[in-house]
Amino acid sequence: TPPHSQTYSSRLSNHTNPAARALLQCIERKRSNLCVSVDVSTKARFLEVVDAVGPSVCLIKTHMDILEDFDADLLEQLQALSKKHDFLIFEDRKFADIGNTVVLQYSKGTQRIASWSHLTNAHIVPGPGIISGLASVGLPLGRGLLLLAEMSSEGTLARGEYTDAAVRMARGAREFVVGFIAQRRLGEEGEDWLILTPGVQLGAAGDTMGQQYNTPSKVVGEGADVIIVGRGVYAKGGKEEVRAEAERYRREGWAAYEKRVGI
Ligand code: 5BU
């Protein structure tokens, strides 16, 4: 059976990367294939949203470079919440430089991304050197990488042959590359890649800057293993509303998964 019709737990045996395995296990434990993208710019709001959605998610996606008051304490508190609520962390940094530079960006600077982020992602534009660079930092720490094979935005150039090239590049680094950011299942039948899909919202077609939305049931039906929802969850307002929205997306995403695998 292709990964598309397998349960998350049965797919564990297809994965050796520790971050991929931890994610699959967390998904099953919490019955959640929801990742919330917390794109807010203050520490107080960031921690409020993470604490509110924590019980409903398997993964928190960050853009740590948009925090105005970023500090070491924020990372400590995020890691404490990750233990309290049982979720993994994915820094959506979209690395895009030569190997030597991404090594520095991933391991050093003020954020030391590799030290706290279980998953991160990279563009394939530079060629395979970007993967070997990131792997030299991430593999010893048990981290995993997602390649950007497709994007959700209108007019994206990441399609067709570009997407195929991303899959080929991933095959050359199977230990570290655990899957793709994509809008649908990628790879051949015998391959098991984790597919994480942004551009998900209920009741909106897009925003004013090119974002395009699909529903959880649509993208999970197309092969998404994890749905990534940002404003659909946190734009609603206070902590209780945010908590309720996250739970609504968790239920939708899980129901779509059960339908896909037929359980
Ligand atoms: P939204 O509020 O649900 O639209 O946020 C989507 C998030 O996913 C946001 O952090 C984007 O940077 C991210 N994203 C995306 O929207 N589309 C893509 O193709 C990729 C990332 Br890759």
User: Which ranges of the chain have pLDDT less than 50?
Assistant: none
211 labelled binding-site residue: yes
Annotated binding-site residue? 61: yes
Query: Which residue has the least CA distance to atom 6 on ligand 1?
Result: 230
Q: Is the CB of 39 under 6 A from ligand 1?
A: yes
pLDDT of residue 236: 78
Classify the C-alpha dihedral 145-112-93-161 as positive or negative: negative
- Per-residue model confidence (pLDDT) at position 98: 98
Distances (CA, A) of 42 to 35, 64, 65: 20, 10, 11
Q: How far is the CA of 24 from the centre of ligand 1 (A)?
A: 22
Helices (H), 13-68: 18-30, 43-53
Measure the CA–CA gap between 248 and 88, rounded to whole angstroms. 20
Annotated catalytic residue 69? no
The per-residue pLDDT for 36 is 99
Instruction: Quote the CA–CA distance of 243 and 224 in Å, as a whole number.
Output: 23
Q: Is 94 a catalytic residue?
A: yes
Output the residue whose Cα is nearest ligand 1's atom 1.
Answer: 230
230 among the known binding-site residues? Answer: yes
Specify the pLDDT at position 237. 85
Closest C-alpha to 249, from 53, 2, 109: 53
Residue whose CA is at the smallest distance from ligand 1 atom 14 = 198
Question: What distance in angstroms lies between residue 152's CA and the mean position of ligand 1's atoms?
Answer: 7
Number of other CB atoms surrounding residue 97 within 10 Å: 17
Per-residue pLDDT at 132: 98
Residue 92 annotated among the catalytic residues of the structure: yes
CA of 188 to the centre of ligand 1 (A): 26
Ligand 1 pocket test, pick from 60, 215, 228, 231 with the greatest ligand atom count within 8 Å of Cβ, gives: 228
From the CA of 156, give the closest atom in ligand 1.
19
